[in-house]
Amino acid sequence: MPTHTLWRSSEFHRRWLFTQAEHQFDFFQFTAPNPKGGFNDLDEHGQPLPGPSVRALHSTGRMVHCFAIGQLLGRPGAANLVDHGMNYLWNGHRDTKNGGYFWGVGDADVPDSSKQAYGHAFVLLAGSSAKIVGHPQADRLIADVTEVLLTQFWEKQHGLTSEEYAADWSKITDYRGQNSNMHLTEALMAAFEATHEHIYLDMAISIAEALIHRITAHNGWRLPEHFHSDWTMNNEYIGSQVFRPSGSTPGHWLEWTRLLLQLWCLSGKTHGWMVDCAKALFHQATIDGWDKEKGGFYYTVNWDGTPLIADRLWWPACEGIGAAAFLAELAPDPHYELWYQKIWNWTNSHLIEQTHKSWHPQLDSQLQPIHKFFTGRPDIYHALQACLIPLFPTTGSLTQVIPAAIT
């Protein structure tokens, strides 16, 4: 492929990516902070949704992470949102009686007091990102959530994390899920980069080895999402369509593609299987997940690779962009650059709303925007990272590579 067709090296494309990232910061920075703590959910115009505000743990953690990225980039006001979110994680979400962090917190109560591994992963990510920008409460948060993860969630015999508990740490279900483990892998890598403590890297490798190298590699590269308590696959499971849909989710195959390549770099490029698995996951996602007629990634597929939920959500496209960018850099092949361009072309045509520059969260099978899983606009996390990952070295988390690249 001629050099001039490499978008990631094009000055114009890089300016375009920065502009798209600025749109994301602009949309969320000024109306998302809730004066009572945490962050509002926003409508398609960037205004707080009406009615009682319930702040989800993962959303609070993601906002801290994203505005720590903004602070590293030199965006005025970003540090204020990092501080706002860190205070709410500690004083709003944290359970001062039983330890851990509540999943959903309201203005005056706790409407969902469950303790979810998925949410705790984003507490660790938030604390790690805040440490990179020098937040004074970061070490305290990292130490606290690490202790909770190790004592309440981590199953050493499996090298994976359990899933969900009540406020008093009594068991809710025997469910085990890959999604929480995947995001914990992301957070563990960030924690390793921030603290240089190898326990985090060892845990990340353990999760990746179990879920991808041991399980998915023997399942036709279709990532199982749901498991029994002994970590045998539960392919008949049907839960929340947003967080636990039936079937397999190609967006997660793409997300793991990037995470495996990042983990390969962080672990000294000593685990060759990580690169092989990343390539195989990306290949299967583009074979099964991409609609060859209308474009875009199906939300879920059956175990024979046929579409199960044919709607298009915004975040699988975001993860496809990040995965293609990592592969194009670390496993150079024109194939990955072509996919990088293909996904961005489709995304710009169908997902990015041109008036407010926010992203439609869901399209139906005819690529028309719908409000089925979400009201308004979900948080900044996926879209922002899709815009920024291609701009920086593919050797670590954005919070790790940005400071080295801009100094």
Query: Where in the sequence numbering do the catalytic residues fall?
Result: 252, 382
Residue whose entry in the numeric block shows the structure tokens 């994680």: 89
The string of DSSP letters for 301-353 reads: E-TTS-EEE--EEHHHHHHHHHHHHHHHHHS--HHHHHHHHHHHHHHHHHTB-
The b-or-e profile of 126-162 (16+ CB within 10 A means b, else e) is: bbbbbbbbebebbeebbebbbebbeebbbeeebbbbb
- Could you count the other beta carbons within 10 Å of the beta carbon of residue 95? 16
Place of tokens 């809710």: 172
CA distance 208 to 226: 15
- Tell me the backbone φ, ψ of residue 144, rounded to 5 degrees: -70, -50
Reading the block at residue 124, the tokens are 């660790």
Measured CA to CA in angstroms, residue 368 lies from 191, 193, 245, 350, 353 at distances of 39, 41, 21, 8, 12
Closest CA relative to residue 383, chosen from 359, 348, 362, 357? 359
CB 101 within 8 A of CB 121: no
Residues contacting 216, CB < 8 A, separation 6+: 222, 223, 224, 277, 281
- Kindly state the tokens that stand for 234: 């539960």
